[in-house]
Structure 1
């Protein structure tokens, strides 16, 4: 069975899920990546089933990253390992889309070539490319679509998010929408003065409700993530 929740989760009543996986190669020293060649899937599975390092804390999802309008060799290698780890554990796979681009390439690779069920894939940062046609095409696959909270880095497109969500809800994809904050820019006040995660509930959620209604916002904030991040561990 699952380990007991960490103190912060017990105190707040909020479920916390940590990720295994790898970001784009620019974020790592070459020796770190070299040490993972041929064993990335093994490491992902171990962090999902045994724990991360010696912490005893097990990951609950696999996080990977695409590139700008495409996938390089590193991204394909990482996604191959992520798919292998998914098939071994049932854990969902979340994907960083660079500036919201590349969703078709990711879905063709993860779901088409590697056989990850679309409902186990979460595409992130879609609001950074506010293209309703691209959003509906991605949603048609059956995957989850994650929209970020505001940040200085993406202020130019943040205001388009309520309309993007409304478009998906009206197209029948309201059960696939997720809302979050990109914590590297939005939550760390010391980094860029972003409004942080509380802003999502205090300001963003009421604004979203004006576009899609309270019931749809509840689905986005409660019901959808409960399904997206659930896993029947094998």
Structure 2
């Protein structure tokens, strides 16, 4: 087995990933966002081309099962644009699904996740799960247990949606304690939405990856705290734990076809600002070196 990032076009050596948007969405639909679906392949292609022109090399889509992830379209976009794309399996919070959708998969989640990661025509490269606001409900615990089983079978990283940035330590306690997932295989998302430096430092000390996934049009109110949070992590010696993403969740938030800021802002404006404020070494770690480690796995051989 060789450590590689599992993209929609196959496994790629981690060092070839390049500048990475570690958390974004090219396709997404949810009953919580009526009329704001990300469902246009042509608009996604324009966004990716703008991203690539600014030096972007890879985008990790955290859209899980049942939310319009469109893996075949992701594969076509990767071929057309030359950008590495990573798809997700997993499940979001229960509110994003109908009761019938959840009932169909509830008792076979782990097997479904493993199939998405190992035998699907277009394979996923990470498992997306979600916590609740300041805690974990029964759905989150059930889904995380299935994700842990799938991780132990495949080695895939587990990405955690933290509701409004909360519940990071609860998620780590369950996944890395009770469920025995190595902390370095856990990616905690949306931490910028709850800028509690003490929690950030504890999560980094535990060995998890910390994803700050703004700027996002829907969550811009936390953007101004981003540099304070990153500076605290850097000063504590945790530069190697930081990931950055744009988390574009609506069509209107695209740069190429909407009001932005979108993928180009992340690798253009924000990356330059990080290099200026925290140094080029920090910017390279956050955009290149850390994603290469976070998303790589020793994938089992094909069945």
Q: Same fold (TM over 0.5)?
A: yes
Match of 1:21 among 90, 97, 114: 90
Q: Is 2:124 the partner of 1:59?
A: yes
Q: Is the 8 A contact 1:187 1:197 kept in 2?
A: no
Structure 1: stretches of 5+ with no match in the other structure: none
Question: Which stretch shifts more, 111-120 or 130-139?
Answer: 130-139
**How many Å separate the matches in 1 of 2:253 and 2:103?**
32
1:70-91 deviation digits (Å, cap 9, x = unpaired): 0000000000000000000000
Q: How many residues align?
A: 230
Q: Is the 8 A contact 2:190 2:211 kept in 1?
A: yes
**How many Å separate the matches in 2 of 1:221 and 1:190?**
21
Q: Is the 8 A contact 2:215 2:261 kept in 1?
A: yes
Structure 2: stretches of 5+ with no match in the other structure: 11-74
Q: Is 2:148 the partner of 1:79?
A: no
Return structure 1 stretches of 4+ with deviation > 6 angstroms.
none
Change in CA separation of 1:35 and 1:7 when aligned onto 2, cut-off 3 Å:
closer
Secondary structure of residue in 2 paired with 1:231: strand
Question: Which stretch shifts more, 19-28 or 196-205?
Answer: 196-205
Higher relative contact order (CA 8 A, sep 6+): 2
Alpha-carbon offset, residue 188 of structure 1: 3.5
Q: Is 2:186 the partner of 1:121?
A: yes
Q: Is the 8 A contact 1:65 1:95 kept in 2?
A: yes
Q: TM-score, with normalisation over the residues of structure 2?
A: 0.72
Structure with greater strand share of residues: 2
Change in CA separation of 1:4 and 1:180 when aligned onto 2, cut-off 3 Å:
closer
Q: Is the 8 A contact 1:63 1:93 kept in 2?
A: yes
Alpha-carbon offset, residue 131 of structure 1: 1.3
Corresponding position of 2:280: 214
